[in-house]
Amino acid sequence: MPEHHYRITVDKLEPTAGEGGLESLSFFASTSHDIFAAISALRGRFDCSTCHATKVALGLSLMNEVLGAHRDRAQQPQLAVSGDA
């Protein structure tokens, strides 16, 4: 069960033509592990920058949660609905 909750925000750095501003999106995500601890572990283990460690840890964490949710859903039996009751 996910126990770490985050708000992820992505901002486009180049202005969008005709929009008069920058594009931005934000969403909430939950993971079963601490993303900040994963970033720290990656930095220490692979001697990489915080930027690279953050990209890897965040991408893998979000992908893991989404794939896990779909896997759980795919393993649940489907109930057939029919008009013959």
Reading the chain (85 residues) residue by residue, the pLDDT tens digits are 669 999 999 988 877 666 666 788 999 999 988 999 999 999 999 988 999 999 999 999 999 888 887 776 666 555 555 555 4
CATH topology of domain 4-74: Ubiquitin-like (UB roll) (3.10.20)
CB-count burial class (<10 Å; 0-12, 13-18, 19+) for 29: middle
Using the Cα atoms of residue 60, residue 64, residue 65 and residue 67 in order, give the sign of their dihedral: positive
The structural domains of the chain, with segments of one domain joined by +, span 4-74
pTM, full prediction:
0.67
